[in-house]
Amino acid sequence: MVEAAVGIGVIISLIFAELLGASAGGIVVPGYIAIYLDKPLQIIGTLLVSLVTWLIIRIISQFTLLFGRRRMVLAILIGFIVGWASRHLIFHNISIYDLQMQSIGYIVPGLIANWMERQGVIRTISTMIIAAVFVRLVIMLISGGEVVFHV
């Protein structure tokens, strides 16, 4: 089911890019976000890691030329490092549960941050969320309403 979500996410991401002219944070991102729509803390964690990555890229771009492949690689690398750090950041004893805001995957935050830099934060996040909801709906239609992801 994970493969189907990522594949459908690629298709929907391409449709959004062609029809709306807006990317959903990278071609595979909507599929991965759709998988985690039932875990909002991980989506929030991913967005926070992406925003921190984007801010770091903005700071670095004041001192060096960042464009194209160089910006993409830097975004993925910084997103990887900040995402790794987020996996070790756990707030214990908040109400009944431990609050764990970790990012989804290692590359997803960097892809999102790269597109935040290219087309803006609001446009990237809104397109990504809408595309992820569409992916989740298509998966629900295909599976007869029952969505179970084994991640």
pLDDT in tens, 90-121: 555 555 555 566 788 889 999 999 999 999 99
pLDDT in tens, 34-67: 999 988 888 998 999 999 999 999 999 999 988 8
146: phi then psi, degrees, rounded to nearest 5? -105, 115
How is the chain split into domains, by residue range? 2-143
Tokens standing for residue 50: 């992406």
